[in-house]
Amino acid sequence: MMVCVKRKKQIASRTVLLTWVFVLLTFFFQSILSAQGFLKASGTKIVKGNGEEIILRGIGLGGWLVPEGYMLKTSGFADSPTAIKNKIIDLVGSSNANQFYDLYRQNYVNHKDIDAIAQWGFNSIRLPMHYELLTPKGQIGVYLEPGFAIIDSLLSWCESNSIYLILDLHCAPGGQNSANISDYSGSPSLWESTLYQQQTVALWKELARRYANKQWIGGYDLLNETVWNLGSANQPLRDLYIAITNAIRTVDQNHIIFIEGNQWANDFTGLTPAWDANMVYSFHKYWNTPDQNSINWVLSLRNSAQRPLWCGESGENSNQWFADCVAMFENNNIGWSWWPHKKLGSTSGLLSAHVTDGYNNLLKYWNNQITTRPSVSEAFNALMDQAVNLNISQCSINRGAIDALIRQPSTDATLPYTANTIPGILYAADYDLGKNTFAYKDNVYQNTTGNAGGAAWNSGGQYRNEGVDIETCGDWPTNGFDVGWIENGEYLVYTIQVQKTGTYDIALRVASTAEGGIVRFMLNSNYFGAFITIPNTGGWQSWQTVPAGQVYLNEGKNILRINFLIGGFNLNYIELSEAPTGVREESSIPHQFVLEQNYPNPFNPNTTLRFETPGNDNAKLLIFNVLGQYITTLFDQTAEAGKKYQIQFNASNIPSGIYFAILESNGQRRICKMSVVK
C-alpha cells in the first residue's frame, strides 16, 4: 500500500513538472511570436514589430481563387473566372463542376506549396481573393464560412513557415475594371453601384475583424488594378479607399493598408496625401525596362507622401528581366511580390503543371478544333485528372525563375543546371543557371515593349525561361529539348565535372537547313581548337554528328563555353568522350592540311594567309563577314600536295569588323578568324 502511494506521488510530481515545462515552452514560443510583431509603415520603410526593416520578397497565388484564362489555356474562349466556370458547367453540370473546383483548390495551393515557397527564400504571400467566395453578391453582412476557411488554412500554413500573408481583393462586387481579372460581367460595375461599394466596405471590415490579431497577416491590399474613368482627381477611388480604411480601423489598428493607383495600379493622382499612418503605396510593373528611370516616378511619390512603396505585382517576363527588376527594387528598398506561382505548361511561373491529354482534348473541343462533344464522364474525368496534376508533387519546378528572383539579383556567379559529368553528354538546353552574358548570351532576352506584340524571349517557349530559344527535340538521345534559333555572337556556358584527366574527343549533334554555321570552344576562359563549320543536315530535326576536335581536360571542375560565331542551326548536345591512346590532341584533321592564323592580326589594310593541303585537289580560300555573307575568293585552283601557299589579302574596300578566312579542299575545311581595325 505504501509503495502504491509513493508511486502515485511520483507520477503526480512528474505530471506537475511536465505541465510547467509545457507552460514555459508555450510562453517561450509565444514570446518569439510576439517579438516578431505586426508589420508597420515607419516613414518610408516597412518594419517588423521590433523596428527592423524588412524587404518583402513575395509570390502571388494567382489562378487559385481567381482562375484566369491565360493560366489555364482557355483565353481563346473563356478568360474570366465566371466564363471558365460556365464552360465547365455546360459540359459536366453544376454538381460535377463543384467537385472539380473543390479538387482544383485542394491541389492548386496546399501546405506543400507554402512550405516550398518559404524554402526557396520568399518571405511573403499575396492572396488574390474573389468576393463571391466570401459573401454573396449584393448581400451585405452575409458571409460564407467555406471561403474564410480557405484563408484560415492558408494563414496557418504561412504561420508555420514564418512568412507573411497579404490579402488582396482581386475581384470586388461588380468589378473594379472591365477586364477578366476582376470577373466583370457588365454594368453596374463597382463604380456604378452604391450597394457594391457598401458591400466592399463591409467585406473588408469583416476580414479585418477576423484577422485583427493575426501577426502573420502582412496587411490588406484593398483593391487590385482599378481601371476606370474616375475623373482627373480619382475622387471616387480616394473616397472608397478612405471608407474602407475607416471601417477597418474600427476593428483593427494593427495592419498595413496597401493602396493601389488607378489604371492598373499606377495612377496615384488624388491619392496623396496619405490618410492613414500605417499605409503603403502599391504599384505594379510589367513589360518595360527594368532600370532606375522606370521607377523614378514612384520614388518621387514615396518622397512626397513619406510612405513606403511595395510592388504588389510583377513578372511574366524572362529570368534576366526578373533578376534586373528585383535588384533595382531592392537597391531602392522596395519590397515586391511576383506573379504568379503556378500555371499550366509555362516556364515563367515558379511551378508548371503538365497538361494532360484529356484536358488538352477539352481545350481542342472548346476551341472548335474537334467537333465531337465529349461525354459527361469523359469531360469530368479529364477535369479531375488535370486538377490532380496541379499538385506540386506533379509539377515541374522552374528552378531558373526561382534562382533569378532570389540569388541572381546579388551575384553574377553561375551554377550548374544539372550534373554535367565528363566523359558524357552535355545537353544544349542544360547550360548553367545565371544571367545573360554570364551563363549564356542571347540577343533577345526580355520583353520591354508591352504585352501585346511583345518580344518572345524564348522562341520555342519550352523548358527554361531565359532568352535561349528552346524547343522540343525529335532526336535520340535527348533530354527532350534542343537549342534553336541560334544567332551570331550568342553562346552557352556549362560547368562540367571531369572524372579523369586526359584528352577528350568533342562531337556536336546538330541540325540545319543550310551550311555556314561556325562555332568555337573556350575552356576556363581560353579559346582552344579550330573553328568548326556546321553542315547542311537537310532539316531542322534532321540530326547529324559533327566531329569538333579534341581538348585536354584536368580532373575536377571546368567551365566549357561554346561560342556561336555564325548561327543558323539547332544544337541537341555536345559529347565529350575519352580519346583513344596515342591520338594527337590538336585535331582529327590531318596535320598537313593547314590554314595558319593570318599575320598581322588585327590588320589594316593588308595581311598574309599561309596554307597547305594534303593532296593534289582543288582548294578554295574564301572570305566571309561575321554575318556569313560572302566577301571575296582569294584562291580557287588545284593545290599541290605539301606546297606552302602564301596569299595576300587587302581589306581596303571593307569596313572594320570580324571576318573569316575559310580553306576548303577534298571535303575538309579549316577556318581562321581575322580582325580588320581602321
- Res 451: pLDDT: 66
How far CA 339 is from CA of 59, 450, 451, in Å, comes to: 6, 16, 14
Confidence of residue 499 (pLDDT cuts 50, 70, 90): very high
Q: What is the mean pLDDT of residues 502-531?
A: 94
Q: Rounded distance, CA 61 to CA 341, Å?
A: 6
Confidence of residue 629 (pLDDT cuts 50, 70, 90): confident
Q: Rounded distance, CA 81 to CA 63, Å?
A: 9
Q: What is the mean pLDDT of residues 524-529?
A: 91
The three cell numbers of residue 243 are: 471608407
Cα-based torsion angle of the residue sequence 578, 579, 582, 583 in order, rounded to the nearest 10 degrees: -160
- Res 673: pLDDT: 85
What are 22-58's pLDDT values in tens digits? 434 443 444 344 346 899 999 999 999 999 999 999 9
Confidence of residue 671 (pLDDT cuts 50, 70, 90): confident
Distance from chain centroid for Cα 185: 32
The three cell numbers of residue 526 are: 581560353
Closest CA to 403 of 432, 434, 436: 434
Residues of the chain with pLDDT > 90: what percent? 82
Q: 500 CB contacts (<8 Å, ≥6 apart)?
A: 555, 578
Instruction: Report whether pLDDT(641) > 90.
Output: no
Q: 195 CB contacts (<8 Å, ≥6 apart)?
A: 138, 140, 173
Q: 466 CB contacts (<8 Å, ≥6 apart)?
A: 318, 319, 320, 400, 436, 439, 440, 442, 445, 457, 458
How far CA 275 is from CA of 278, 281, 285, in Å, comes to: 9, 12, 24
* Three-class secondary structure of residue 113 per DSSP: helix
Full set of structural domains in the chain with CATH: 37-64+109-354+395-403 (3.20.20.80), 413-578 (2.60.120.260), 594-676 (2.60.40.2550)
Q: What is the mean pLDDT of residues 254-280?
A: 98
Confidence of residue 664 (pLDDT cuts 50, 70, 90): confident
Q: What is the mean pLDDT of residues 265-275?
A: 97
- Res 509: pLDDT: 97
Q: Rounded distance, CA 114 to CA 138, Å?
A: 33
Instruction: Report whether pLDDT(589) > 80.
Output: no
Query: Per mean pLDDT, which range of 142-146, 232-236, 381-385, 647-651 is the poorest?
Result: 647-651
- Res 598: pLDDT: 86
**What's 372's DSSP letter?**
S
Q: How many residues belong to the chain? A: 678
What are 414-456's pLDDT values in tens digits? 999 999 999 999 999 999 999 999 999 999 999 998 865 555 8
- Res 455: pLDDT: 57
Q: What is the mean pLDDT of residues 210-228?
A: 98
- Res 27: pLDDT: 38
Instruction: Report whether pLDDT(624) > 70.
Output: yes
The three cell numbers of residue 79 are: 478568360
What residues form DSSP beta bridges with 436?
440
Instruction: Report whether pLDDT(528) > 80.
Output: yes
Instruction: Report whether pLDDT(668) > 90.
Output: no
Q: Which residue has the higher pLDDT, 669 or 78?
A: 78
What are 304-346's pLDDT values in tens digits? 999 999 999 999 999 999 999 999 999 999 999 999 999 999 9
Q: Rounded distance, CA 128 to CA 114, Å?
A: 15
pTM score? 0.84
List, in sequence order, every beta strand (DSSP E) within 206-348: 217-221, 256-260, 279-285, 309-315, 335-339, 342-344
Q: Report yes or no: 394 and 354 within 8 Å, Cβ to Cβ.
A: yes
Confidence of residue 587 (pLDDT cuts 50, 70, 90): very low
Q: Rounded distance, CA 1 to CA 311, Å?
A: 73
Instruction: Report whether pLDDT(18) > 70.
Output: no
First-to-last CA distance in the chain? 110
Instruction: Report whether pLDDT(3) > 50.
Output: no
Instruction: Report whether pLDDT(584) > 50.
Output: no
DSSP symbols for 630-669: EEEEEEEEEEPBT--EEEEEE-TTS-SEEEEEEEEETTEE
How confident is the prediction for the chain on average, in pLDDT? 91
